[in-house]
Amino acid sequence: MTVAAQMLDTYPADLGGIDRQKLQECIDACVECAQACTACADACLGEDMVAELRKCIRTNLDCADVCEATGRVLSRHTGYDANLTRAVLEACAAACQACGDECGSHASMHEHCRVCAESCRRCEQACRDLIASLG
């Protein structure tokens, strides 16, 4: 059981009809993706061809920031705002799609980009799944 699952289980009030499993999966995916993107950006900086990886580094860092913010917003339930949650999830899915595409284009040359692209794809899907469950 993840920490996100444990924290959701201990929340003292109703979550307002949100699918608890999809919420937990999305929080976990956001945290994982933020870490993967941060590590990938750092690995790109360590590559000999760093100049060619500028866009990848920027996309990694943007995605990491958006994923971190999304995970934090999803972790707060008191005074829940469905419109804000939906907007943050849409932004996160878009950032993950862009980063997944960018890292995917380098995946055959850099293993860290392959791992990051996979994490981005999982997070994008988790965001889209949660959005769909919101109705």
Sign of CA dihedral 38, 39, 41, 42: positive
Q: pLDDT tens digits for the chain (135 residues)? A: 899 889 888 888 777 778 899 999 999 999 999 999 999 999 999 999 999 999 999 999 999 999 999 999 999 987 778 899 999 999 999 999 999 999 999 999 999 999 999 999 999 999 999 999 986
Residue 9 in domain: no
Residue 48 in domain: yes
Containing structural domain, residue 58: 18-134
- Cα separation, 27 vs 43, whole angstroms: 24
Which tokens is 17 given? 């009809």
- Counting the structural domains of the chain, the total is 1
User: Quick one: pLDDT at residue 9?
Assistant: 85
Residue 10 in domain: no
Residue 64 in domain: yes
Write the DSSP symbol of residue 43: H
Among 100, 113, 119, 99, CA closest to 43: 113
103: domain CATH number is: 1.20.1270.360
Residue 7 in domain: no
Among 97, 126, 86, CA closest to 37: 97
